[in-house]
A and B are shown apart, each in its own frame.
Chain A
Amino acid sequence: MNPVAGGAFALATVGKVVLFFTVLMLAVMLATIFERKVCGFMQDRSGPNRVGPWGLLQVIADGIKNLLKEETMPEQAVRPFFLLAPVLAILPATILFAVIPFASPLPTPWGLVEMIVADVPIGFLYVLAIGSIGVYGVAMGGWASGSKYSLLGGLRGSAQMVSYEVALALSLVPLILLTGDVRAPEIVSMQQTFTAGPATYATWFVFPLLVGLFFFFVSGLAETNRLPFDLPEAEAELITGYHTEYSAMKFSMFMIGEFAHVITVAALVTVFFLGGWDIPFWQGDNIRVLSDGTVIGEPTWWKTLLTLGAFGLKTSLLVLVFVWIRWTLPRFRYDQLMDLGWKFMLEAVTVYILVIAFVILGIEAVGIPAGGWYAFVLFLVNLALAGALFFAMDRGTLIRGGAKGARSAGGDAAQGQGG
């Protein structure tokens, strides 16, 4: 069966856009209630449980409340940008989802429909490019509010997101070294086992790129502006920073943007490191569409549903980790945040890229073909690197206030080297 083409392709794409947007918004709604429930449980409370079964309809009640509340417009605000900022907060997070494959291809009478909204050839670069736009919502909202607190929040947000974008992009370079392709569906296929077609690695990239996952996750956390990196909206110092002056649905849009961002980053981690929609230990779902249109494997509709479930499960688990971290770790101090980004993450990721590049060079010089053994060697290297990394972080003075030598006599800000 060939992939759909022509009018059927356009129709299928429109259908997928509508479907995926609905599902994403529903997922955002569920994520808010999920976060409140998990947070409640972690604090030995029961969370919202009054509206609907298990409090599931609470989000609808909140939505109605936010729609009916008064929209305030501060006198000092710059109206066009003030109105534009919430849109810019939502937009990048939602359109990022377009390049994420969320299930195995679906066979239809008109051809094979790939379960990805836009399989652009530069998939992964698109992620980085659109991810950078997210900073506009924060910076613009902070500046256009005409409030000093918001401005500070916006400035912090832009500095933080620009800083961590570097580490975010670099942490994915080892992935490209391994796959040699930036298309997201291809990255998923590379993590599956095939008997025919180009060689793959037969294992999720969490093993051969363990340290890369760590860096990507930390930078992703910083990109979503959530604890421990939520300095732009620090409640205690900045009264929630860049959205202080927003009310009702405009405020809600910032929140929806944040949750959509969380889900998107979780989905990206799933695709890049946890095999995407791949179901572990089962070869039946290994379906690959090569760029020339050849299909390897047997797509069926129930496989699409199953893999969709697997993708949803992995993403939800990652969202749980996000929530878990949020309700555990305290916020970094601003200089610690910048130190972590520029003095630790950037260097460590660069070194990591070099090490992985040389190891790959070595493996290919020895002549191990791409596949399980190739991944295993990389896994061992990563284990060693992870050990070294955590040892360095443990010995490091990133968060220590009073470490010996942390403050030099000259009074310069050289404290807090992260490892």
Chain B
Amino acid sequence: MPGNVKVVERPRAESSYVRAAAKGMSITMRHLLSPNKKTQQYPDEKWELAPRTRGTHRMAVHEDGRAKCVACGLCPTVCPVNCIKLVPAEDENGERYAAIYEIDEFRCIFCGYCQEVCPVEAIHLGVHYENAEYSRERWVYDLERLVEQEHDVTALWDPQDPASQ
């Protein structure tokens, strides 16, 4: 034999094919008969998500339905992947609002900095994961779409334990 091949001697109980096969067959049969199946019936039963799950965004609104965003420009600045597009504007009362506010959810890494940095608690990440779309364009959420979202917003920290202790 070429080279120096190490041959490991194992006891019969470990190396016997017959015993190993019998053991394997008993294991599969036990699982076959076990009523404890792990499958989750997904569309019928859904995941229970943690309150701090970070998913697609949602924009908070005033009582009259206007977006809370004041177009301060902090979120596009802090965004590490540059996925937020913001064009500010001013109304007749001199209040700033977002004329264009778009988030490219394909680019987003769901870090949550935008929510953290927002001074008026307008933009939020959401507790949400079902995001299938028919086209890539649909993945760019505009302001209207962000306002329409209805899922829970992400809690960035546990209110009972703000310092994560």
Contacts and interface: CB of A to CB of B under 8 A. Distances in A.
A46 to B, nearest CB: 4
A399 interface: yes
A288 B31 CA distance: 42
Given A38-B32, A411-B1, A328 B21 contact: yes
Interface string B25-44: 10111011010111101000
Contacts of A328: 21, 24-25, 27-28
Interface in A324-346: 324-325, 327-329
A400 interface: yes
B7 to A, nearest CB: 4
Contacts of A40: 39
B17 interface: yes
Contacts of B28: 42, 324, 327-328
Interface residues of A, number: 28
A394 interface: yes
B31 A402 contact: no
A30 interface: no
A404 B7 contact: yes
Contacts of A399: 15, 17, 20
A110 to B, nearest CB: 46
A45 B39 contact: yes
A160 B19 CA distance: 25
Given A395-B12, A403-B15, A325 B25 contact: yes
Contacts of B31: 41-44
Contacts of B65: none
B2 A411 contact: yes
Interface in A1-58: 38, 40-46, 49
Interface in A86-131: none
A390 to B, nearest CB: 6
A40 B41 CA distance: 14
Give the one of B29, B32, B41 with max A CB within 10 A.
B32
B8 interface: yes
B32 A42 contact: yes
B10 interface: yes
Q: Contact size class for B?
A: 20 to 34
A409 interface: yes
A65 interface: no
Contacts of A46: 37, 39, 41
Contacts of A327: 28
A404 B15 CA distance: 12
Nearest to B29: A324
A395 B18 CA distance: 9
A393 interface: yes
B16 to A, nearest CB: 5
A41 B32 contact: yes
A404 B1 contact: no
A268 interface: no
Given A324-B28, A325-B25, A328-B25, A45 B10 contact: no
A351 to B, nearest CB: 19
A241 to B, nearest CB: 24
Contacts of A400: 10, 15, 17
B48 interface: no
A331 to B, nearest CB: 13
B9 interface: yes
B32 A324 contact: yes
The 10 closest A-B pairs by CB, nearest first: A399-B17, A46-B39, A402-B7, A328-B28, A42-B28, A328-B24, A44-B38, A41-B32, A402-B8, A394-B18
Given A42-B31, A394-B12, 17 more contacts: A41-B31, A41-B32, A41-B34, A44-B31, A44-B34, A44-B37, A44-B38, A324-B29, A327-B28, A328-B27, A396-B17, A399-B15, A399-B17, A399-B20, A400-B17, A402-B8, A409-B1
